[in-house]
Structure 1
Amino acid sequence: MEARKLDDKKLNSPKTLKKEIGLMEAITVVIGVVIGSGIFFKASSVFKNAGTPMLGVLAWVIGGIITMASALTVAEIAAAIPKTGGVFVYLKELYSEKWAFLFGWVQALVYVPGVAAALSIVFVTQATYFVPMTAGQQKVLAIFMLLFISFLNIISTKLGSKVQLISTIGKLIPIFVIIVFGLIKGQVNSFSAPEAATASTGLAGFGAAILGTLWAYDGWVGVGNMAGELKNPKKDLPKSIIIGLAATIVVYILINIAIVKIMPVSEVIASPKAASDAAVILFGKAGAGLVSVGILVSIFGALNGYLMTGVRVPFAMAQENLFPFSKFFGKISDRFETPVNAFVFEVVLAALYVLSGSFETLTNLAVFVMWIFFVMTVAGIFILRSKHKHIERPYKVPLFPIIPFIGIAGGIYILVSTLLTDTAYAVYGLIVTLLGLPVYIYINKKNK
């Protein structure tokens, strides 16, 4: 079925979500989802692959440039199609219902609940620093966290966005402390240290370092899922994506510079938790506690952001009659005016994944497929400009078509790297995606 022409008509549902999210909350959604636990643990692998501190920092810069190119491009699409559902809606309007459904199929059933389950487990694992727990107790607490965050967002989207704002500020405090004291008090001149230049991993190693940073920058596009709830989506959506991601890039680069000023790069490479070790060097044992609290707040914010944005995908699909039991999952609570049923569905799946322990496998399966759709989304700018010239675009990507090509090239690099290094997961992910085809055919026939 051909994509419908873009217009400003409302979704099929007679009731829509309230527009109560401002620019600041949208920015914190971007920052909060992107900055999870990776900022505290990713330094060692990036510097190990890069080989030197200079190349390690450069990898974060290049990864940020590639990600920003994608963000600048998608921001134009988001401003032109400011509807709840984000990438699902973009694919439906620019490609076809079938492509949109396959994206939503994997996103709703595998990726969102899988990531939510993984984040909840990482949260309670980090909590064992303060309170020892058995494996069973950790799973119970992980499910409780899923239920608690969902409850906050079900009561009010505004409340969920405020939680996102507070948690984002909370997670940035220990990060800024490390950055400021590291840059001021850091004594290690790692950028010219002899041991920093002994490793020579070459172009392949530097490419792997960039790949690691691209994974760390992932997640910013989720704010588009909530476009229908932004007070002024045509202006605030591109602003939130660009400002939020730019702030994240600066934070990532500065904290990695601070870390290699605090610790010799050889110790950074050897440490699985370089940020924590750097904090201990700066502040003693209190530093470890500071970073541990920062990690908990950071993961909490990421989990809140993933659930808040992720449930909008099955909700948007249901409102377009492209999801099983659409009337149920597309329903908005009369009392809370939030997509309660979609929330319950995603949280139940996430809880099952926690209990089964299968969330890592599921998310690994889905990652390759998600990036296929993401590259399609970035490339959709050419379809938008050629076939939908009549659509008002309050924002346009600069340096067109150079910027989109940079974003597309970065996405293709991730796809090729994943296909070569995790071939089995990539193939299985495609199979899981294609299993959605008979479901789409059934739903399409039923709608007709």
Structure 2
Amino acid sequence: MENKTEFKKELGLLNATSLVAGSMIGSGIFIVTSIMARDIGGAGWILLAWVLTGLLTLAAALSYGELAGMMPKAGGQYVYIQRAYGKMLSFLYGWTVFTVVQTGVIAAVAVAFTKYTAIFFPVLSENLLEIGSYKIQYQQLLAIFSIVILTIINNQGVKSGKNLQFVFTAAKLIALFALIIFGLYVGLQSDTLANNFTDMWTASKTTVVDGVTKTEILTGFAIIGMLGFTMINSLFSSDAWNNITFIAGEIKEPQKNIPKSLFLGTLIVTVIYLLANLAYFSLLPLEGNPLSEDFIGQGIKYANEDRLGASAASVIFGNAGVFIMAALIMVSTFGCNSGLILAGGRLFYAMSKDGLFFKSAGKLNKNQVPETALWMQCIWASVLCLSGKYGDLLTYATFANLLFYILTIYGIFILRKKEPDTPRPYKAFGYPFVPSLYIVLITIISVILLIYDTKNTGLGLFIVLLGIPVYYLTQKKSV
């Protein structure tokens, strides 16, 4: 049988926008506001972090549109980096995406999926194996199983992945709209929102150890530092928007549809996230008691296992709301991972074609999808499910990704000089001011993260740098 060597162009603007939004909306919006509340305290600072995240994400998406229009090829960001900087940096990007970014986010979202599944099946929270301080829970095994199932589905062809993605994106949007509409309707009948906005700019850092709560008031530069630090949570929740560029080879009229889908998808999600947080602040008090057994008593800061979406739903619908929201969040995270798995394999396929990844990853199966690349991604993401907690996976995956966002957007400046005559169907919005501002702000946030969470961000940086000797070893072998 003849080997398929080209992707099918199956995805239109609606599907592309669905993939952008679907990849972005996963677990974070239902969890991380609780973490952010403990980090920085005041409702004003939390909302500011979400607003800044939305503006930064939109700025990046509008900048990427220029590169996507110039280079509508499978592999997306990997291709952009190679064109601007050469093979080594593009390999480092692909290496980082495989070892920590794409696979790390897939693992984190799968772990979040099982967090909410445990509401229905509490046994999932129990330990299967315990060796010293290392534990394996049933949750982690379910996370791996979900990744395997989605890999099988995505191996059936882009049409199967496309349809699944559209259904799950629609479901998660319904869940969020229900949370927002009912949450604001119920919440605004009380004075919870007004109380949360009293002293909304008082910043504080809260830690809980063995049930003992310690709160430290933040002032001056400590507020700026903690704002930058806690934004890793909102940035993670808004990440993966660039996945659409990985599958450019399967999008109809990619020069037009990729820039449009990047803008529309990121704008839709940014607005939804801000409204969802307003719903949280309308339904639950910011402060609470970590020892309380009811959701209102726990408040936003101490939501049970940070499952804030479930806590908010319980206020709207009573005890049944916990299960309703848990089910919808399970759909949301499952759908998010479907999009991430679909897109990631295309990047490793593009790397293989350049001789920078396993040769077998550069082949398409009878359904015209890179089956081997998808299974390699599946195996490593499964290993990561066993390696760390949700928060750890979130931090080192997002930090490593931020470094390459900076490089990629700076690549616009390089290519404007190197290739002034190359056709650009779309030009970066607000160039050079908007891309420059993005680079400066993300650099500041990255430095803050290195200072405040040296362990996890340092691990992310180490993995990136480890790619340098790996690159030279692989190139030496291929000579």
Q: Is the 8 A contact 1:40 1:273 kept in 2?
A: yes
Mark the CA change 1:361 to 1:45 in structure 2 (over 3 Å): closer, same or farther: closer
Cα distance 1:338–1:53, how it changes in 2: closer, same or farther (>3 A)? same
**Does residue 467 of structure 2 align to residue 436 of structure 1?**
yes
2:454 matched to which residue of 1?
423
Q: 2:207 corresponds to which residue? A: none
1:141-172 Cα offsets, whole Å, 9 max, x none, are 32321121011110111110111111011111
Q: Could you say which structure has the higher strand fraction?
A: 2
1:174 and 1:290 in contact (8 A); partners too:
no
Segment of structure 1 superposing worse, 407-416 or 237-246 = 407-416
Shift of 1:321: 1.2
Match of 1:387? 418
CA shift digits 1:51-82 (9 cap, x unpaired): 43344323322221122111111111111111
TM-fit CA distance, 1:256: 0.9
Task: Give the counterpart letter for 1:183 in structure 2.
Answer: L
Distance 1:213 1:360 in 2: 12
- Taking the aligned partners of 1:25 and 1:312, their CA distance within structure 2 comes to 17
- Structure 1 38/191 Cα, relative in aligned 2: closer, same or farther at 3 Å? same
Instruction: Please point out which of 189, 192, 195 is paired with 1:193.
Output: 195
Match of 2:183 in 1: 182
Task: Please show how residues 220-235 of structure 1 align to structure 2 within 5 Å.
Answer: 220-235=241-256
- Cα deviations across residues 227-267 of structure 1 (Å, max 9, x unaligned)? 11111111111111110000000100111112212223322
Task: Please tell me the residue identity of whatever aligns with 1:69.
Answer: A
Task: Report the counterpart of residue 21 of structure 2 in structure 1.
Answer: 31
Q: Is the 8 A contact 1:117 1:351 kept in 2?
A: yes
Q: Which moved more, 1:419-428 or 1:36-45?
A: 419-428
The answer (yes or no) to whether the contact 2:23–2:337 under 8 Å persists in 1 is yes
Q: Residue 217 of structure 1 aligns with which residue? A: 238
- Name the CA distance, whole Å, in 2 between partners of 1:61 and 1:399: 19
Per-residue Cα deviation, 1:304-349 (whole angstroms, up to 9, x for no partner):
11111111221110011112x32x110111x211101101111122
Residue 116 of structure 1 deviates from its aligned partner by: 2.1
Work out which of the residue numbers 122, 129, 134 in structure 1 matches 2:119. Answer: 129
1:269 corresponds in structure 2 to 301
Q: Deviations over 1:204-241 (max 9, x none)?
A: 34444544322321111111111111111111111111
1:80 matched to which residue of 2? 70
Q: Is 273-282 or 167-176 further displaced after alignment?
A: 273-282
**Structure 2 vs 1, CA of residues 194 and 426 (structure 1 numbering), >3 Å: closer, same or farther?**
closer
Amino acid at match of 1:278: A
1:445 to partner: Cα distance: 4.1
CA 1:282–1:161: 2 relative to 1, 3 Å: same
Alignment length (residue pairs)? 433
Q: Are 1:282 and 2:316 counterparts?
A: yes
Which residue, 271, 279, 283 being the options, matches 1:250? 271
1:267-315 CA-partner distances (Å, limit 9, x unpaired): 2233333332221111111211121011101110111111111112211
Q: Amino acid of the residue matched to residue 12 of structure 2?
A: G
Task: Pick which of 111-120 and 289-298 moved more.
Answer: 111-120
Q: Counterpart of 1:396 in structure 2: which amino acid?
A: K
Q: State yes or no: 1:117 paired with 2:107.
A: yes
**Deviation at 1:43?**
2.1
Q: Quick one: structure 1 residues 116 and 353, their matched pair in 2 at CA, closer, same or farther if it must change by over 3 Å? A: same
Match of 1:8 in 2: none
Aligned pairs (5 A) from 1:14-53: 15-53=5-43
Q: Note the C-alpha offset of 1:351.
A: 2.6
- Residue 45 to residue 77, structure 1, CA distance change in 2 (3 Å): same
RMSD over aligned CA atoms reads 2.4
Work out which of the residue numbers 335, 340, 350 in structure 2 matches 1:301.
Answer: 335
How far apart in 1 are the matches of 2:8 and 2:390?
A: 32
Cα 1:393–1:427 shift into 2, 3 Å: same
> Gaps spanning 5+ residues in structure 2: where?
129-137, 204-217, 288-298
CA displacement at 1:361 relative to structure 2: 5.6
Judging changes above 3 Å, is the alpha-carbon distance between structure 1 residues 366 and 420 closer, same or farther for their aligned structure 2 residues? Answer: same
Equivalent residue for 2:147?
Answer: 146
Q: Whole-Å Cα distance in 2 between the matches of residues 51 and 430 of structure 1?
A: 29
Cα distance in 1 between the residues matched to 2:178 and 2:391: 32
Give the drift of 1:433: 2.7
Q: What code does the residue aligned with 1:314 have?
A: F
Alpha-carbon spacing, 1:230–1:182, altered in 2? closer, same or farther (3 Å): same
Whether 2:361 is the aligned partner of 1:329: answer yes
Contact (CA 8 Å) 2:235, 2:398: kept in 1 or not? no
Match of 2:378 in 1: 347
Q: State the alpha-carbon separation in 1 of the partners of residues 394 and 231 from structure 2.
A: 21
C-alpha distance in 1 between matches for 2:462 and 2:50:
33
